Amino acid sequence: MAARNPGIEYDETWIQNVYINLPAVKRRAETLGTRRTVKKQWQAAWLLRAVSCIDLTTLAGDDTPANVSRLCYKARNPIRSDLIKAVGMQDKGKLCLTTGAVCVYPSRIQDCAKALKACNGTKIPIASVATGFPAGQTPLKTRLEEIRQAVEDGAREIDIVINRTMALTGDWKGVYNEVRLMREACGEAHLKTILATGELGSMVNVYKASMVCMMAGADFIKTSTGKEGVNATLPVGLVMVRAIREYYQRTNYKVGFKPAGGIRTAKDACTWLSLMKEELGDDWTKPNLFRFGASSLLGDIERQIFHYVTGRYAAAHELPMA
């Protein structure tokens, strides 16, 4: 496995004189959104890969142990077992497909741990949002303590939000310092930094935020909380993955990418996988370097797998509710 990104010392020159050719970015994104198609068994294979990259998520005010338990069961059994058998995703009678992680609020981590333990000791990682998600408008001391508590409770991945005030006022050293402290608070847990790109104001800020978070030791950079007015878009994704590529070329450390918010269809999933494959290569189409933040995406993928196996679309009662 590739070495984890340790981060580097802050270097202002990496984010000076940044220029984003927005028309060119949009044209490149359009080629992904309108011209890339995969069919039949290749589409099924891509969709099964997409399932393995989903952070199956519930971030609602009315989350309870019961619906978190259902979420964990679905993460362990994302596609109906007879469909999995039909596409050859079983080994010695055991299912070989799970989602990449389950993602919940910190208060629900222990519920997840209990539910996953009941699923035959499955090793699906628990991800938790932290640091005053989604606004991040709480004192730094409180945000750091929330990370430490989430890790202590069993989270193996922490999705933090950056300080948008610092980003919007150009205090990139301040963003770096905070993310660096958050990385330290995570310990062995992996750090995903949410840029909240819909609130950063420009593509230049998206690029700078991406680079600064990677300098600070982020294991993943993530587009959105899912709570902004604008969430994951292909132009933003393109700018972020180009930053990832440049960081890798400069440091030889691979950083992951997570689009989140508004990704609901199997077609969306294939488009984002195309982006990763074409811009970064096959390594970035696997769950150690690519995740979807999604709650409803899995349902449409299961419908498409059902269609591939049976030749028809499922009626409402033929697929389990997520």
pLDDT in tens, 114-147: 999 887 657 899 999 999 999 999 999 999 999 9
d(CA 247, CA 46): 27
C-beta of residue 265 within 8 angstroms of C-beta of residue 46: no
C-beta of residue 271 within 8 angstroms of C-beta of residue 47: no
CA 31-261-70 angle, 5° bins:
125
Q: Give the pTM.
A: 0.94
Class of domain 22-313: alpha beta
Q: Which two tokens stand for residue 59?
A: 């971030």
Work out whether the CA dihedral 218, 159, 109, 151 comes out positive or negative: positive
| Confidence (pLDDT) at 118 | 82
Lookup result for tokens 């009662």: 317
d(CA 165, CA 136): 10
Low-confidence ranges of the chain (pLDDT < 50): none
| Confidence (pLDDT) at 256 | 98
| Confidence (pLDDT) at 90 | 66
C-beta of residue 234 within 8 angstroms of C-beta of residue 270: no
Q: What is the set of active-site residues?
A: 222, 258
| Confidence (pLDDT) at 94 | 63
